[in-house]
Amino acid sequence: MEAIVVEGLEKRYGSVVALDGVSFEVKEGEVFGLLGPNGAGKSTTVRVLVTLTKPDSGNASVQGHSVLSDPAAVRQAIGYVPQDSGVDRYGTGRENLMLQGRVQGLGRRDLRARVDELLELVGIADAADRVVQGYSGGMKRRLDIALGLIHRPRVLFLDEPTTGLDPEARVAMWAEVTRLAEREALTILLTTHYLEEADTLADRLAIVSQGKVVVEGTPSALKAALSGDAVHVELADGRVDDARAALAQIDAPVETVLDDGKVLVSRVLDGGRALPGILSALGAAGIGVSSVAVHRPSLDDVYLHYTGRAFEAEHRGAAVQPMRGRGR
Amino acid sequence: MMRAASHTWWMIMRQTRNLMREPIWIALLLIQPMVWLVLYGQLFKNVTKLGGFGTTSYVTFLAPAIVVMNSFFGATWSGMAMVSDLDRKFVERFLATPASRLSLVLSQIVRSALQAALQALVILVVALALGVRVHTGVAGWAVIVLVGMLVNAAFAGVSQGLALLTRREATMITLANFIGLPLLFLSSTLLATSQMPHWMRVAARLNPVNWGVEAARAVVLPNTDWGSVGLNLVYLLILCVVTAAFATWTFRSYQRSL
Ligand SMILES: Nc1ncnc2c1ncn2[C@@H]1O[C@H](COP(=O)(O)OP(=O)(O)OP(=O)(O)O)[C@@H](O)[C@H]1O
Ligand SMILES: [Mg+2]
């Protein structure tokens, strides 16, 4: 059965098109990832699904309830962990949970027990009676998740659950999400910037770019769909255009998909075989190479392929040229 | 309806609890009205000689009006808590739950009014110490506290509405200052109506702050006209309903903007 069905969502904010026909489905019990660059429309999609935002057109349903015609039933079924937390910083963790539980209609006794259970589960029991303002980023995020779980929802929406966490806390959070998904028998929709996160957590994922789902599938299927290898050539002197020109001369199918001023990424059928040709072409043109690496397709490449941006480069904030020759 | 009421209650509990954690805030909440009472009381002590004040004791004339003024000023700031809740996405978090929408707005207004009631009591006690006697006794005290709450709730509705429309603290402060002092001076808070120019007297009659001042003062001074007290209370009550409706309407427009 489908826990989440999204059909042709469109949403504009003034002249900005946030969603441009987003569609996907999530099966019950699945962990589904929405992956995409800044401003792709991930949060907007989630906000429509949790009934915060009304789409201009299209529809979506959660646990069979339409977000448009029966938002009350959707709200009952879901837990939502927003990108911007929304906890009451002047209240304690426990107080935040108690209020959330009250509003979700839990009775006093059940709620007390549930709050204790959740505080343990997300590992902030020691800080339960401290004011949230004094929590670390990781503790706040854990509280956010506990808040989303208080009423034992069937479907949990996590909007960038690990943004702002250090690598260690992030890995801990992944373990937690996996555990929760099993223990609470949850359907989880999570958005993320981290490829590794999507790869680790998601049973299936959709890559979103400019308000559209550009591709959807299991992480391994997405990787498999990219045939060939990626050759990363780091140029010693940054003569990117010369290098491009040199590579264009090669007989073998070498396709230069990206450069960020220093590193050139080429997609080739077989990295091992293409390498000598690439190096001799660069050598003949007198272009210095400081390192070369051959990569089997990674989710990185999938991301690059479908969004036209290098994930790494984007996150370093470097200028990135769009991918050339999208349809290979 | 039950749900809205219980959710409002829980939201008020949360706001009150947070305020209780601010010792300075509590101190100011209690001290500020006393300062006004003592300061204005001394400054204008002899003004009753001009006549038309209904009493020779200026502090007796002033005390009920200070309750109203304090309620009014408190109300103009009440939207700040909403701006902060909107900013921090506290409101959004609850919009994705079955939380009563009404309770998110109403709790702010009721919390603000309860605060005003508390301050009204403090002012009355201090006034008692300064020798002010409420002519109508306990009923009078009750009316004054009620007036304090109604004036506060009425303007809190406006403040909440503006908070939801503008969502900016700076705008809120400017607006509060813009409407605060004019409404104060267009009322008989500090001076008897008979000392005002004619046009001001007319304007004062349309000023909700003045409705409150008139009602609260009438129960303190002798010869209370209960009919006109009742009428002023009804006006204030109607205004409360209207501004609460306005706040609720702005909440919907905020939701639509998401
Ligand atoms: N309330 C709003 N008003 C105006 N524009 C908005 C609003 N919300 C989103 N947008 C715009 O819609 C687009 C999609 O935003 P969205 O927040 O969904 O992206 P995202 O994929 O979650 O990005 P990020 O990874 O940065 O969180 C962006 O261009 C954003 O500027
Ligand atoms: Mg986002």
Closest to A99 (Cβ–Cβ): which among B10, B98, B258?
Answer: B10
The closest-lying atom of ligand 1 relative to the alpha carbon of residue A34 is 21
- Average pLDDT value over all residues in chain B: 92
In angstroms, the first-to-last Cα distance of chain A is 36
Shared domain for A271 and A144, answered yes or no, is no
CB A195 within 8 A of CB A203: no
From A101, A51, A53, select the one nearest A72 (Cα to Cα).
A51
Shared domain for A139 and A286, answered yes or no, is no
User: Which ipTM did the prediction report?
Assistant: 0.89
Q: Which residue, of A222, A255, A271, is where some domain finishes?
A: A222
Interface test with B, best of A70, A88, A147 (most B CBs within 10 A): A88
- Is A129 inside a domain boundary? yes
Instruction: Identify the residue with better confidence: B145 or A122.
Output: B145
**Which residue from A42, A85, A208, A213 has its CB within 8 A of the most atoms of ligand 1, so it is best to mutate?**
A42
Query: How far, in Å, CA of B163 to CA of B254, rounded?
Result: 10
- CATH number for the domain spanning A116: value is 3.40.50.300
- Domain map of chain B by residue range? 23-256
Shared domain for A107 and A26, answered yes or no, is yes
Query: How far, in Å, CA of A20 to CA of A212, rounded?
Result: 6
A108 in contact with B, Cβ within 8 Å:
no
> Which DSSP helix (H) or strand (E) runs through B205?
helix B198-205
The closest-lying atom of ligand 1 relative to the alpha carbon of residue A53 is 1
Inspect the interface and report whether the beta carbons of A88 and B98 lie closer than 8 Å.
Answer: no
**Which ranges constitute the DSSP H helices of A226-328?**
240-248, 271-284, 299-307, 311-316
- B12 φ, ψ (degrees, to nearest 5): -65, -40
How many other β-carbons are positioned within 10 Å of the β-carbon of residue A45?
30
Rounded to the nearest angstrom, the gap between the alpha carbon of residue B115 and the centroid of all alpha carbons in its chain is: 9
A70 in contact with B, Cβ within 8 Å:
no
| Domain limits for position A28 | 2-222
Q: How many domains does chain A have?
A: 2
- Is A271 inside a domain boundary? yes
Helix, strand, coil content of chain A in percent (nearest 5): 40, 30, 35
CB A95 within 8 A of CB A88: yes
Shared domain for A199 and A277, answered yes or no, is no
Position B179 scores a pLDDT of: 87
**A230-249 tens-digit pLDDT:** 788 888 887 878 888 888 87
Position B102 scores a pLDDT of: 92
Question: What residues of chain B lie within 8 A of the CB of A72, using their CB?
Answer: 98
A66 in contact with B, Cβ within 8 Å:
no
Shared domain for A246 and A285, answered yes or no, is yes
Q: Tell me the CA–centroid distance for residue A305 and ligand 1, in Å.
A: 22
Position B230 scores a pLDDT of: 96
Q: pLDDT by residue for chain B (258 residues), tens digit each?
A: 788 999 999 999 999 999 999 899 889 888 888 888 888 888 888 888 888 888 888 999 999 999 999 999 999 999 999 999 999 999 999 999 999 999 999 999 999 999 999 999 999 999 999 889 999 999 999 999 999 999 999 999 999 999 999 999 898 888 888 888 889 889 988 888 888 889 998 999 999 999 999 999 999 999 899 999 999 999 999 999 999 999 999 999 999 999
Shared domain for A129 and A241, answered yes or no, is no
The three-point CA angle B59-B63-B66 to 5° equals: 125
Whole-structure pTM over 0.90, yes or no? Answer: no
Least confident of A34-48, A136-150, A241-255: A241-255
From B171, B172, B166, B168, select the one nearest B253 (Cα to Cα).
B166
B150: closest CA of chain A, how far (Å): 27
Q: Which residue, of A165, A196, A222, is where some domain finishes?
A: A222
**Which residue from A22, A43, A56, A207 has its CB within 8 A of the most atoms of ligand 1, so it is best to mutate?**
A43
**Residue identifier of the C-alpha nearest atom 28 of ligand 1:** A39
- Is A322 inside a domain boundary? no
Closest to B10 (Cβ–Cβ): which among A53, A90, A103?
Answer: A103
Shared domain for A64 and A181, answered yes or no, is yes
A211 three-state secondary structure: coil
Which pair of tokens denotes residue B246?
């306005």
> Which DSSP helix (H) or strand (E) runs through A258?
strand A254-259
The three-point CA angle B12-B16-B20 to 5° equals: 170
Q: Which ligand is nearest to the CA of A34?
A: 1
Which pair of tokens denotes residue A221?
């299927």
Among A residues 206-265, those touching chain B with beta carbons less than 8 Å apart: none
Inspect the interface and report whether the beta carbons of A84 and B89 lie closer than 8 Å.
Answer: yes
Which pair of tokens denotes residue A40?
């792709």
CA atoms lying within 13 Å on the CB side of residue B1: 0
Inspect the interface and report whether the beta carbons of B97 and A84 lie closer than 8 Å.
Answer: no
Interface test with B, best of A47, A90, A106 (most B CBs within 10 A): A90
Question: What residues of chain A lie within 8 A of the CB of B256, using their CB?
Answer: 54
A122-144: average pLDDT:
93
The three-point CA angle A60-A63-A66 to 5° equals: 35
CB A195 within 8 A of CB A299: yes
Position A312 scores a pLDDT of: 46
> Which DSSP helix (H) or strand (E) runs through A289?
strand A289-295
From A102, A179, A103, select the one nearest A145 (Cα to Cα).
A179
CB B65 within 8 A of CB B190: yes
Q: Which residue, of A222, A245, A273, is where some domain finishes?
A: A222
Which pair of tokens denotes residue B73?
């000023």
- Is A327 inside a domain boundary? no
**Has residue A253 got a pLDDT over 70?**
no
Q: Tell me the CA–centroid distance for residue A38 and ligand 2, in Å.
A: 7
From A177, A136, A238, A145, select the one nearest A33 (Cα to Cα).
A177
Question: What residues of chain B lie within 8 A of the CB of A88, using their CB?
Answer: 14, 18, 88, 90
A50 three-state secondary structure: coil
Q: Which ligand is nearest to the CA of A49?
A: 1
CA dihedral A159, A260, A200, A4 (to 10 degrees): 40
Query: How far, in Å, CA of A176 to CA of B26, rounded?
Result: 41
Which pair of tokens denotes residue B63?
């005390």
Shared domain for A210 and A267, answered yes or no, is no
Shared domain for A169 and A254, answered yes or no, is no
